[in-house]
Amino acid sequence: MPIIEAEGLSKTYRVFQKKEGLLGAMRGLYRREYKEVKAVDQVSFSIEPGEMVAFLGPNGAGKTTTLKMLSGLIYPTSGTAQVLGFTPWQRQDAFRRQFALVMGQKNQLWWDLPASDSFQLHREIYSIPAAEFKKTLDELTELLGVEKLTRQAVRELSLGERMKMELIAALLHQPQLLLLDEPTIGLDVVAQVAIQKCLRDYHSRRGMTMLLTSHYMRDVEALCSRVLVITHGTLVYDGPLSGITEKFGSAKLVRLDFVEGVVPDGLERFGELTRSDGASADLKVERSKVAEVLGAILDRYAVADVSVQDPPLEQVIARVFEEGRKTHDAA
């Protein structure tokens, strides 16, 4: 049975339209005008046990709204969802004990207290046996390398250290499902890698299901094999991470190193010259023309080395977002 099964999930908000100026403000007191905004529009997908899935989209696409519906924080306008066999917005205790939600811009730890005090509070809330609590806490602090920081006031920790503590708090009750909303936002590369490694290791040990939103493609590539892409509230892609490049990455990156140590003139005729540096150059070439272009270049120039690569995932995702914006604007 799927861990998450959403069918036609939608959320519409009524937004007050405030008029400019004093007269507009006065009119708003007596006759308020509203506009309906579709945050999520007919989203359907399912996630099987043990999957690690990325949920991508530009700001305002509906990612966080979807996570809030799946965790029971808000009600949908229409549609259905089953999470761990429960309807999330019914907020049953048995459901809430089986998942965790971590939001990179929200704190669940007490700011002025050591993280260890917040962990003890979580133990009481979730009725975790003392021996099990200690074993899990020791495992998580070791995975994240923060054994000596749990008794330090949260406000004294760095952003990366606080995020590690937030993750520990979320995993103490050993949830079957972990919902992550931009957990590495604002973190340096070292902290990002540490959190990625912790999540990978924890998943391999416990088989936890994970749904992750992030603007950092390193998170996605390090953790997820499947991707959901949402733009303007509508799901536009659901498939393997490798497939998104094949579907939306229309060009390949051809990297050339030349024998003579100088990039020759005239490369622009074969594609878009994106880099020219000393003896090497990068060409952006349509996928269907790569073989033809390579043949012509090798016939014409003395090439020491050549490689053909997919474009960076960031570029492909940016194109998906842009196509989604154009489709939405044209509708």
Query: How does residue 141 score in pLDDT terms, banded at 50, 70 and 90?
Result: very high
pLDDT, greater one: 225 or 105: 225
Query: How does residue 135 score in pLDDT terms, banded at 50, 70 and 90?
Result: very high
Instruction: For 250-309, give the CATH class.
Output: alpha beta
At residue 330, the pLDDT reads 63
pLDDT, greater one: 280 or 47: 47
Condensed to tens digits (0 to 9), the pLDDT of residues 290-303 reads: 888 888 888 888 88
Query: How does residue 28 score in pLDDT terms, banded at 50, 70 and 90?
Result: low
Q: What is the pTM of this model?
A: 0.84
β-strand pairing of 34-47 with 4-16: antiparallel
Condensed to tens digits (0 to 9), the pLDDT of residues 234-260 reads: 998 999 988 888 787 778 888 888 887
Is residue 219 pLDDT above 70, yes or no? yes
What separation in angstroms does the CA of 87 have from each of 49, 91, 95, 244, 299? Answer: 17, 8, 9, 31, 64
pLDDT, greater one: 104 or 38: 38
Query: How does residue 331 score in pLDDT terms, banded at 50, 70 and 90?
Result: low
Mean pLDDT of 304-309: 88
Query: How does residue 24 score in pLDDT terms, banded at 50, 70 and 90?
Result: low
What does pLDDT average to over the chain? 89
At residue 25, the pLDDT reads 67
Condensed to tens digits (0 to 9), the pLDDT of residues 41-71 reads: 999 999 999 999 999 999 889 999 999 999 9
Instruction: Note the CATH number of domain 4-11+41-245.
Output: 3.40.50.300
For the stretch 131-170, what's the b/e string if a residue is b when 16 or more beta carbons lie within 10 angstroms of its beta carbon?
A: eebeebbebbbebbebeebbeeebeebeebbbbbbbbbbb
Is residue 154 pLDDT above 70, yes or no? yes
Is residue 312 pLDDT above 70, yes or no? yes
pLDDT, greater one: 326 or 317: 317
Mean pLDDT of 252-275: 82
At residue 328, the pLDDT reads 66
Residues in the chain: 331
Condensed to tens digits (0 to 9), the pLDDT of residues 95-109 reads: 999 999 998 878 889
β-strand pairing of 280-286 with 251-258: antiparallel
Query: How does residue 193 score in pLDDT terms, banded at 50, 70 and 90?
Result: very high
Question: What are the extents of the domains in the chain?
Answer: 4-11+41-245, 250-309
At a CB cut-off of 8 Å and minimum separation 6, what does 84 contact? 3, 95, 98, 99, 176, 177
At residue 223, the pLDDT reads 94
**Residue position matching structure tokens 């579907």:** 247
